[in-house]
Structure 1
Amino acid sequence: MSTLNLLRLLLLAAIWGASFLFMRLAVPALGPAWLIFSRVALGALFLLAVTLVLRQPTVWRGHRRHFLLLGLLNTALPFLLFAYAARVLPASLLSILNASAPIWGAVITALLQRTLPAWRVQLGLLLGLCGVAVLASSGAMALPAGAGLAVVAGLIAPFCYALASSYAKEPPSVPALANAHGSMWAATLLALPLLPVVPAAGPVTTGALLAVLALGVLCSGVAYLLYFRLVDELGAAAALTVTYLIPVFGVLWGVLFLDERIGGNTLAGGALVLLGTALVTGLSLRQFRGAR
């Protein structure tokens, strides 16, 4: 891997790790619905501008159903669930729960194929489950009342990512940028009906608006562009190693900017989740080093 691509990978992990920090900062003022609508709408506008500048096709015609399904599973629903969980859970814990997406993917694949996964995958699933149990235990952090539902929401969100990945294994022939652009607009439409039902939580501050701007433009728009560039340069398998780096930055930003305290149980649970994810995905250093 070239130095430039390594820097891109680290930057992408830092940006996506910061998304949990920004959600924690914005959700007390905006609430989950307004936060996610603002995020995906800003991301959609940013990607529209990129599409126009690069003169790329939008290919919306004939793919509306595809974009709606992708926008629901890969964007609107998981973003909303993480925003709900961010009202209670620390950013560091959210970023670790997010890393369980490949574990959910292995479960979905096994159910669809009606076969037992390989022993390595089974061990990864067991370690991931143990890691989640450690993280959710009462001794993992001093969590407030109602944290149980927030943890469940934080686990369903990566499950949605896994469903989207399973669907995307045989997607229509749509370019990557068009997929990101179309699904972001679909997520905006899906989030719109929630606004009158789930009002903003409190007075909107300048800090909350800046956090939403960062979520929409940086964590949604710029991050997508970085990710697609890495896929083009390295291939999908090597680009997905960002999964293992996001919790590192998520924990780091939480400690530095939110004064979150990281206990031994959090570190142990996070390590188990990441190790289980590595086993499930079959992470190979040889494959990573050999990326073109």
Structure 2
Amino acid sequence: MPLDAVAPAPPARNLGILIQFLAMGLVWGSSFLFMKVALTGVGFGQVAWARLVFGALTLGIIVLVGRHRLPRERVVWLHFLVLGTVGCAMPFLLFAWAEQYVSSSLASIYNAVTPIMTAIMATAVFRVERLNGSQVSGIAIGILGTVVIIGPWGYAALSGDLVGQFACLGSALCYGIALSYTRRFLSRRSIAGVPFAFMQVGMGALVLLVLTPFVAVGPIILSLPVLLSLLALGALGTGVVYVWNINVLRTWGPTSASTVTYITPVVGVLLGVLVLGEAFVWNEPVGAVLVFVGILLTQKRLRVGRRRPVHSLQ
């Protein structure tokens, strides 16, 4: 869910919110493991389809139980159709497709590129932000880190692994577009958090339901691990966690809530290595460190140089 879709409330850090924040990082970081397991029994399109449909059903139940009101303006529904397509359907399809060729841990690292993509889209395309020198440096460092992760020196020709990495980057780009689009067209509208999440996920699910004959038809081997992974991806990772995200946003504000970006790749990498036995190549963690430095700069948590104090002559 876009971080500036909900206005922050005064900070009131408590144990409950901290637990929800940590649970967000754990569940979203685990999503890459769930996708990898689900792909052993279903196709990539079926993974994305189930994730969005289960997520929409879960959020729909929350909306009904809480008696939340949905927006009525047609233009808002059209905006959410765009947001559901670009911010849910497309990146979910791309990540699921990519994990046929790349490790879940590497996919989680590429997901961390999202803040860099968002800064580029918000500035260069949607023009809803202006960057200072440190932020521009952060984008440059983040791009350098992405190149290091890809490791172009290791490829003599186009391969599935390389295309899979580009698909992961495409997913991060989709998220960046969606976040910037939200700020440009929806952030000023008074839409409560739960309906916002339901509209975005629900519209994404609607898109894939329409495309069912093209993305969700194929052989299925529905073992217990595959079924549990699909349910976790949908009902938990694309449903309940969105509500936790809203609670954290309202309590801590968007800046603090966005630090979940630093947790998810760590969880994704640890699970990939410990559970699936995935191997690491030296350039992946090195590139990830560069990306994180770039994120710190673009989010103004780190600055290049310090201003010298001005002394008056008196």
TM-score by length of 2: 0.83
- Greater helix share, structure number: 1
Cα distance in 1 for residues equivalent to 2:27 and 2:294: 23
Structure 1 residues 223 and 240, CA gap change in structure 2 (3 angstroms)? same
Cα distance in 2 for residues equivalent to 1:250 and 1:118: 32
Q: Is 87-96 or 144-153 further displaced after alignment? A: 144-153
Structure 1 residues 258 and 174, CA gap change in structure 2 (3 angstroms)? same
C-alpha deviation, 1:168, in angstroms: 1.1
- Aligned residue in 2 for 1:68: 81
Report percent identity of matched pairs: 33
- Aligned residue in 1 for 2:241: 223
How many aligned positions are there?
283
Structure 1 residue ranges without an equivalent (≥5): 285-292
Assess if the C-alpha contact under 8 Å between 1:140 and 1:266 holds in 2.
Answer: no
1:189 aligns with 2:203: no
Pick from 144, 147, 157: which aligns with 1:130? 144
Instruction: Supply the RMSD in Å over aligned alpha carbons.
Output: 2.4
Q: 3-state SS of the aligned residue for 1:180?
A: helix
C-alpha deviation, 1:7, in angstroms: 2.5
C-alpha deviation, 1:14, in angstroms: 0.6
Structure 1 residues 127 and 188, CA gap change in structure 2 (3 angstroms)? same
1:11 aligns with 2:23: yes
Structure 1 residues 250 and 260, CA gap change in structure 2 (3 angstroms)? same
Cα distance in 1 for residues equivalent to 2:275 and 2:153: 23
Cα distance in 1 for residues equivalent to 2:119 and 2:261: 15
Assess if the C-alpha contact under 8 Å between 2:17 and 2:247 holds in 1.
Answer: no
1:257 aligns with 2:275: yes
Pick from 102, 107, 119: which aligns with 1:106? 119
C-alpha deviation, 1:75, in angstroms: 0.8
Structure 2 residue ranges without an equivalent (≥5): 1-12, 303-314
Assess if the C-alpha contact under 8 Å between 1:134 and 1:140 holds in 2.
Answer: no
Cα distance in 2 for residues equivalent to 1:64 and 1:157: 23
List structure 1 segments (4+ residues) > 4 angstroms apart after TM superposition.
Answer: 138-141
Pick from 160, 166, 173: which aligns with 1:159? 173
C-alpha deviation, 1:61, in angstroms: 5.5
Cα distance in 1 for residues equivalent to 2:57 and 2:166: 31
Structure 1 residues 128 and 23, CA gap change in structure 2 (3 angstroms)? same
- Aligned residue in 2 for 1:79: 92
Pick from 9, 29, 38: which aligns with 1:26? 38
C-alpha deviation, 1:80, in angstroms: 0.8
- Aligned residue in 2 for 1:150: 164
Cα distance in 2 for residues equivalent to 1:202 and 1:38: 12
Q: 3-state SS of the aligned residue for 1:160?
A: helix
Structure 1 residues 200 and 278, CA gap change in structure 2 (3 angstroms)? farther
TM-score by length of 1: 0.89
Q: Is 236-245 or 204-213 further displaced after alignment? A: 204-213
- Aligned residue in 1 for 2:132: 118
Cα distance in 2 for residues equivalent to 1:5 and 1:139: 44
Q: 3-state SS of the aligned residue for 2:275?
A: helix
Q: Is 225-234 or 110-119 further displaced after alignment? A: 110-119
1:180 aligns with 2:197: yes
Assess if the C-alpha contact under 8 Å between 2:33 and 2:271 holds in 1.
Answer: yes
Q: Is 25-34 or 245-254 further displaced after alignment? A: 25-34
